[in-house]
Structure 1
Amino acid sequence: MDNMSRMCVLILIPLLLFDFALPITFYLPANIRKCVQEEIHKNVLVTGEYEVSEQPDTRTNLKITDSAGHTLYSKEGASKGKFAFTTEDYDMFEVCFESKSQMGTVKPPDQLVNLDMKHGVEAKNYEAIAKVEKLKPLEVELRRLEDFSESVVHDFAYMKKREEEMQDTNESTNIRVLYFSVFSMCCLIGLATWQVFYLRQFFKAKKLIE
């Protein structure tokens, strides 16, 4: 590895060590359902860790679903734990916490929910990979860099694909608008011609013109 490559690695390693996904913290009132949504690409590992403050006679359920309603993870009486799944397609995923209280008319205090979700490169356990494959620290960071670069390439490829799809949609919409404009113009010309002939016949019937 030359000096330039080493310098690039040393510059990118701190960026890779930085945790881009910040934990989410919110309050969950009793008998209320709150959800967090996130778009994630296809074939991406998603991991998460959650913690819900306990309240007497209050039960909190956790459910993770996709846009089609398929359940990816479900936990009744969720207080503290972890979850992991791999996405099968690019989709909008929803993480929902639902509080159910049996205290009747007495309103219990809100529960504090901490949710830390990671996906892609940041979700991989490189320490475990290093132990299994017996990698050196620099090799681990190079593996992390390789995965990060691959993720960036996939993101750019997806953005390019979306741009092409949007361009095709815009061109199709422009063609439809053009056809509609021509059709509207033809209708207006036909209506104006019909009005001229109708008024001409009307005035002739009234003997206002010859």
Structure 2
Amino acid sequence: MSLNRILIFISTLSVVSALYFHIGETEKKCFIEEIPDETMVVGRYKVLIFDPQVNEYVPTTAGLGMHVEIKDHDSKVVLSRTYASEGRFTFTSASAGEHSICLHSNSSAWFASGQLRVHLDIQVGEHAVDYQQIQAKDKLSELQLRVRQLLDQVEQITKEQNYQRYREERFRATSISTNERVLWWSIFQTAILLITGFGQMRHLKSFFEAKKLV
């Protein structure tokens, strides 16, 4: 495999997801991101409001904002804050696992159409790092910056591999627990059938003896 293919493969391991969705006045939208531990996540968003006069989405009025709430896999709140109609939020995962990212408008009093369009871009890992800012701050050359990027990518790959091992161990534990429960349930069913059959035989024997058939 050539060096270029290796670099392309490494760069695809970091997560970047961009989308847009529509949201109502009291509606909340949540997204699930599987994030390794000690990984920085940056979310950028922009809110547009539907204008029936022009029949399209336009920039929102002043005062309208978005409330962002992020919880980890244990339902512990990582971030809960209200932002403006356009901006970004940043957090670093303390533990590996699924993180819930929920957004909803801070109020429904500012818009009458009842519908917003939210453009959301979530960047995880080294893609969340602004390397141009780092280059200007630390006065790095192009080669030094590229080495820095590769080191961050290797570190992110290590975190991803550790997280996959964690998922595999959790899946194996779940499979073992499920198999044990299925085994004990089968034994319980067999015991119930044996006890039921034995009781029926005793009842039939008593019935035949009472009728003096045996």
TM-score bracket relative to the smaller structure: 0.7 to 0.9
The residue aligned with 1:111 is 116
Deviation at residue 136 of structure 1 after TM alignment: 2.1
Superposition pairs for residues 136-175 of structure 1, below 5 Å?
Answer: 136-175=141-180
Q: Quick one: structure 1 residues 136 and 25, their matched pair in 2 at CA, closer, same or farther if it must change by over 3 Å? A: same
Show CA shifts across 1:50-70 (max 9, x none). Answer: 222344587333222215252
The residue aligned with 1:80 is 86
Q: Which whole-Å CA distance do the structure 1 matches of 2:143 and 2:4 have between them?
A: 9
Q: Report the AA paired with residue 12 of structure 1.
A: L
The residue aligned with 2:41 is 46
Show CA shifts across 1:74-115 (max 9, x none). Answer: 125x22222212122234221302263337xx9426333222
Higher relative contact order (CA 8 A, sep 6+): 2
Task: State which structure, 1 or 2, has the greater radius of gyration over its C-alpha atoms.
Answer: 1
Say if 1:34 and 1:98, in contact at 8 Å, map to a contact too: no
Q: Which whole-Å CA distance do the structure 2 matches of 1:92 and 1:118 have between them?
A: 13
Question: With structure 2 as the length reference, what TM-score do the two structures score?
Answer: 0.76
Q: Which whole-Å CA distance do the structure 1 matches of 2:27 and 2:157 have between them?
A: 38
Q: Quick one: structure 1 residues 92 and 20, their matched pair in 2 at CA, closer, same or farther if it must change by over 3 Å? A: closer
Aligned length: 201
Q: Which whole-Å CA distance do the structure 1 matches of 2:148 and 2:11 have between them?
A: 11
Which segment drifts farther, 23-32 or 135-144?
Answer: 23-32
Q: 2:195 aligns with which of 183, 190, 198?
A: 190
Say if 1:24 and 1:114, in contact at 8 Å, map to a contact too: yes
The residue aligned with 1:95 is 102
Deviation at residue 123 of structure 1 after TM alignment: 0.6
Question: With structure 1 as the length reference, what TM-score do the two structures score?
Answer: 0.77
Q: 1:37 aligns with which of 26, 32, 39?
A: 32
Gaps of 5+ in 2: 49-58
Deviation at residue 21 of structure 1 after TM alignment: 1.8
Q: Which whole-Å CA distance do the structure 1 matches of 2:208 and 2:160 have between them?
A: 70
Which aligned segments of 4 or more residues in structure 1 are displaced greater than 6 angstroms?
Answer: none
Q: Quick one: structure 1 residues 26 and 99, their matched pair in 2 at CA, closer, same or farther if it must change by over 3 Å? A: farther
Say if 1:31 and 1:99, in contact at 8 Å, map to a contact too: no
Secondary structure, in 3 states, of the residue corresponding to 1:108? coil
RMSD over aligned CA atoms reads 3.2
Which segment drifts farther, 125-134 or 158-167?
Answer: 125-134
Q: Report the AA paired with residue 109 of structure 2.
A: Q
Say if 1:47 and 1:83, in contact at 8 Å, map to a contact too: yes
Q: Which whole-Å CA distance do the structure 2 matches of 1:190 and 1:29 have between them?
A: 59
Which segment drifts farther, 158-167 or 199-208?
Answer: 158-167
> Structure 1 or 2: larger strand share?
2
What percent of counterpart residues are identical? 29
Show CA shifts across 1:184-203 (max 9, x none). Answer: 22332222122212211211
Q: Quick one: structure 1 residues 172 and 37, their matched pair in 2 at CA, closer, same or farther if it must change by over 3 Å? A: closer
Q: 2:18 aligns with which of 12, 15, 23?
A: 23
